[in-house]
Structure 1
Amino acid sequence: MVRIINDQVALVENVDIFTPIHDDPHIQGEIVACNATNDVFAMGATGIVSLQAFIGYPEDMDEEIVVGVLKGMNDFMMQFGSRVTGGQTIRNPIPVFGGICLGVAHPDDIVYSRGAQPGNAILLTKPLGIQPAMRSYRDLQDEKREALLERFQESELRTMQETAVRVMTHSNRVVALAMKRVGVNAATDVTGFGLIGHADNVASQSGVDVVIEEVPVIRGTLELAKFFGHRLDQGLAAETAGGMLVFLQPDKVEEFQEVMRLHDLPCWTIGRTEKPRATPAARLAEGVKFVETAFP
């Protein structure tokens, strides 16, 4: 949500709540904070005012877990000169963690998911593959472990999981800074609706077709996703605290990627926009290329 306060100040607020994805409380807290702040950064706000925590947990859960999650959230926020400033805690049959993030920007710097134009280049700032990587994290701990290890090496699965954690705990603030410096037409983060789902939202709001020609994925997750039945090869697997889709003029791509390189971060050109064939929509191009990669 964006609220224009005056001609100099706009407030950007986002709420994200989800079930735990990692057993380490501190890491889980970092993921929560990263996920909550990413929507604010996707709208071009680079100043983070605060994060309010939302914690729901059952009566029999050790409160030290809650403390660890809150510490992870607060430690993550400190990199922005901010912190967890309060929140709400409730009893709930299953644990749920989330955050309400408040950011600030100049109204002229706000970036919306509408605004993409035909002929834009499309950038993606993090590889996909969180869903299968973290599914394997769970399956290695229960009765599905044996079946999983009949197909995959445990060391390979652990590498995928570690990469996924790095993706989920790396802030998108540098992307927001690059958008502010370069100037872009539209942007969105990539989370629960997957690459095509979020791209389709931009397409429908902007009145363009989005054509995805190349998809970076965490090394090994494409085959893992097929094993689980996740639709990563269709661009439909869910992500958590994923990267950002950025739509901009082609002559600005090099400058944008240079900003990312200065921070040792990757940035892939994954497609283009064009005039719609019919109803504006996103699609994978015929012969789309999947690129397996690591993440810093």
Structure 2
Amino acid sequence: MTSSSPVKLTSLSSKGGCGCKIGPADLAKVLQELPQGISDPNLLVGLDTSDDAGVYRLNDTTAIVQTVDFFTPIVDDPYDFGQIAAANAISDVYAMGGKPITALNVVAFPIAALDKSILADILRGAGDKLKEADAVLVGGHSIDDQEPKFGMAVTGLIHPDKVRTNAGAQPGDSLVLTKPIGVGIMTTSLKKGLLSEKEIERVTKVMTTLNRKAAEISEKYTVHASTDVTGFGLLGHASEMAKGSNVGIRLFYKQVPILERVQELAKSGAVPGGTKNNFAHLEDVVTYPESMSQVEKWILCDAVTSGGLLLSVDSEEAKRLAEELRDNGVEAQVIGEVLGENKGRITVQ
């Protein structure tokens, strides 16, 4: 923690908890009402498969990756909040296989009500995370708002033939996850005053860690599909991969990395609304074992901020990839497999 500000940023958010996206069911209804855009063969990735970012081809060797993300504070330290928001926004570029190059700040802040040093700390945290990603801040936009919000619009570069999407998973692949889940439950618990300083530092470290190392190491392996796990939770993003790839997915619950004390905290009632919305949205496409508790189901649907990459990898390479990632400090595990049957659905074991 680097700021001495006495203000609890999470108390200024009417939502609190995970800073979640609009729920998947509501968002799907809104997107259905959008008119069809102009057809352009250079638009390599658009809205069709609910992917992490858009990709537009400039020429035969270069495409741009574009994404934007922002949310209300989920930790109290302004500097940490800036780092988390930046890492979360940049992650979409890594998920597509790209290299982030520029970013624009998106700021909403009650400038007359809060000390300006708080906003300065937020921007400083975000700037330091951009430097870590070797990306450059080129500007931004701010508004005076009663509820603080911060994020970034990020642009990256990628070769058109090397774009990773969530729609390329192949039967026989194994699924590798590169960060533990349970972030939404932990940050909701933080708002309720249920976490120790050590636990706050632990979940903050998870959220501020860039997916850069995981993305770069995985470039040496046969990765057929990729997404990052964020607001729709592990099962939500796995479901998008299953539908987009027209495959089935089997997840092994005991192999999924979960932050410490998450089950205990969830049992105490620290489950964000976004997590419960995710679970409700997925009820018709996920089959759980009869022995699985409601809390365990919620954990798999937990709304994550700045989560890890979910990679669909050639099964002969997945274990080796996970081992190399762990050797380099990435909390990676093989958590499931891709099936040719049960298309568009997920089975949890």
TM range (shorter): 0.7 to 0.9
How far did 1:255 drift?
3.5
Q: Which residue of 2 aligns with 1:205?
A: 244
- Partners of 1:31 and 1:18 lie apart in 2 by 10
1:233 matches 2:272 = no
How far did 1:258 drift?
4.1
Contact 1:196 1:283 in 2 (8 A): no
Q: Which residue of 1 aligns with 2:345?
A: 281
Map residues 1-296 of structure 1 onto 2, 5 A cutoff.
Answer: 1-45=54-98, 47-58=99-110, 59-140=112-193, 157-213=196-252, 214-228=255-269, 230=271, 233-234=296-297, 235-277=300-342, 279-285=343-349
Contact 1:53 1:86 in 2 (8 A): yes
TM-score computed with the length of structure 1 as normaliser = 0.86
- Partners of 1:8 and 1:259 lie apart in 2 by 29
Structure 1: segments with no counterpart, 5+ residues: 141-147, 149-153, 286-296
- Partners of 1:128 and 1:166 lie apart in 2 by 13
Structure 1's consecutive aligned runs of 4 or more residues displaced over 4 angstroms after TM superposition are none
How far did 1:181 drift?
1.4
Amino acid in the other structure paired with 2:191: R
How far did 1:83 drift?
2.9
Amino acid in the other structure paired with 1:216: P
Contact 1:132 1:228 in 2 (8 A): no
Contact 2:176 2:336 in 1 (8 A): yes
How far did 1:64 drift?
1.2
How far did 1:62 drift?
1.8
Q: Aligned in 2, Cα 1:258/1:250: closer, same or farther, shift over 3 Å? A: same
Amino acid in the other structure paired with 1:284: V
Q: Aligned in 2, Cα 1:114/1:82: closer, same or farther, shift over 3 Å? A: same
Amino acid in the other structure paired with 1:175: A
Structure 2: segments with no counterpart, 5+ residues: 1-53, 276-294
Contact 2:188 2:270 in 1 (8 A): no
- Partners of 1:223 and 1:284 lie apart in 2 by 21
Moved more, 252-261 or 101-110: 252-261
Deviation string, structure 1 residues 76-96 (Cα, Å, up to 9, x no partner): 111122232210001112111
Contact 2:322 2:334 in 1 (8 A): no
Could you say what the CA RMSD is over the residues aligned between the two structures, in angstroms?
1.6
TM-score computed with the length of structure 2 as normaliser = 0.74
- Partners of 2:263 and 2:201 lie apart in 1 by 16
- Partners of 2:246 and 2:134 lie apart in 1 by 38
- Partners of 1:259 and 1:208 lie apart in 2 by 27
Contact 2:214 2:330 in 1 (8 A): no
Deviation string, structure 1 residues 223-254 (Cα, Å, up to 9, x no partner): 21222253661111111000111001111113
Count how many residue pairs are aligned between Structure 1 and Structure 2: 269
How far did 1:259 drift?
3.5
